[in-house]
Structure 1
């Protein structure tokens, strides 16, 4: 695929670089922000080509986040989520052509909205979210996360809701999230290269040009996490996640 077929105007470059900045900030700071970049890139480059552009950007941002937060992760949650996420990953390969993207998007948004409401109700009542202690709770989010990241790179809100619901401290939140997505996103690369054919040498060259913006976003995300107190981090992340869920529902 030639450059001219992907990048057709200065606006396209602007959308690409802005998306890279947002993704970098999301991975090292406020998870859920990256969902904003998904529709932006889809509108500029088309649904399938945009997934080929965004995945390497996500992988670079994941690597930056893991390098910075490499010693901060709640591994019991990573191990609880990953097996089910891999099942969701494989399931998505089989149903990708069966489920209409719009129907799936609304279904996922509805499920996440219900979990958000349960979480809000529990906090309002000052009670523990009893669902989070159920044996199926972690695997459910792992399955949904693996499925959604494969279908539309939209697993950010899934992980954010899960980590918020188990009341994870901010640094553990970001570190756990970083390791989870590092594994999942790097597993997606061969699928998109050889099965979907939407990652090419030309698209990788374009992605390489976004690295400075990913780094700037990463630094901004780290700065934001440092400046926000625990309560502020949780409130900000919850607000961004709510916006992400609304975007999925409309």
Structure 2
């Protein structure tokens, strides 16, 4: 059992933010592992979080049981399975910092291009992007890979879903169902490869009461903010997550 007060001072708000992300405001979840990695080895931080994420997913599935896109999930889950497979194969061979920088840089470019678009189009609103099986498969594959490596699958998935500008509750519910399935799939290989052990699981149980609180806050906020604000906030959260991932990757390489 971890007794360091600094661990709990960082873990408690990080898990609450993850719950808020699971409750509908996607993007914050990518911050959790980098925060925990400040006081734990990255592999231990990833293993500790997965049981908590799965618990959050159960609450999220109940909250959004009527708000998710069946049409989108088929191709998204297929891509995620491929991405998880690559994550399993690459886990012992890839540099975590390079993965963080690549994912974070993509999130930053996506967000900045979205904000610059009104200047390019002279303020004319563009049409929502149409769902695309090839794009959905690609970005969900990246999401599944990033989710397995560092629980950072949110930014790639949002890069595919946000341009479609679907109803906020439908978007939130689709991401909740998607990551619930992805996280429960990840449980098997995490246990098999020793990323989740008795110590990690016991520590996760201590922090578990924070899970439903974060979910409730996220769901409450999602229902009460208007769609325009929701999408603006989602892009801001994606930007923050991207900056954090790039910073932690560069720090890992000793460049900052």
- TM-score, normalized by length of structure 2? 0.88
Deviation at 1:129, TM superposition (A): 5.9
- Asked whether the equivalents of residues 33 and 42 of structure 2 are also in contact (C-alpha less than 8 Å), the reply is no
Partner SS state of residue 111, structure 1 = helix
The corresponding residue for 2:63 is 68
Q: CA RMSD in A?
A: 1.8
Tell me if 1:86 matches 2:85. no
The residue number in structure 2 matching 1:171 is 169
Distance 1:229 1:107 in 2: 32
Is the CA contact 2:31–2:245 (under 8 Å) kept in the aligned structure 1? no
**In the alignment, structure 1 residue 111 sits paired with structure 2 residue 92:** no
Question: Gapped runs of 5+ residues in structure 1?
Answer: none
**Post-superposition shift, 1:56?**
0.8
Q: What is the deviation of 1:85?
A: 1.0
Deviation at 1:18, TM superposition (A): 2.0
Runs of 5+ in structure 2 lacking a partner? Answer: 248-256
Provide Cα deviations, 1:80-130, integer angstroms capped at 9, x if missing partner.
Answer: 211111011101111223322222222222333343344445555322366
Q: The residue matched to 1:91 in structure 2 has which SS? A: helix
Alignment match, 1:192:
190
TM alignment of 1:1-250, pairs within 5 A: 3=1, 7-122=2-117, 125=121, 126-128=125-127, 134-195=132-193, 197-250=194-247
Q: 1:31: how far off?
A: 0.7
TM-score by length of 1: 0.90
Contact kept? 1:118, 1:129, Cα under 8 Å: no
Cα deviation for residue 79 of structure 1 reads 0.9
Q: Is the 8 A contact 2:24 2:173 kept in 1?
A: no
Shift of 1:182: 0.7
Any conservation in 2 of the 1:122–1:129 contact (CA below 8 Å)?
A: no
Report how far residue 181 of structure 1 moved: 0.4
Classify 1:61/1:133 alpha carbon distance in 2 versus 1 (closer, same or farther; 3 Å): closer
Partners of 1:20 and 1:110 in 2: how far apart?
Answer: 24
Taking a change above 3 Å as real, the CA distance of residues 60 and 71 of structure 1, as seen in their structure-2 partners, is same
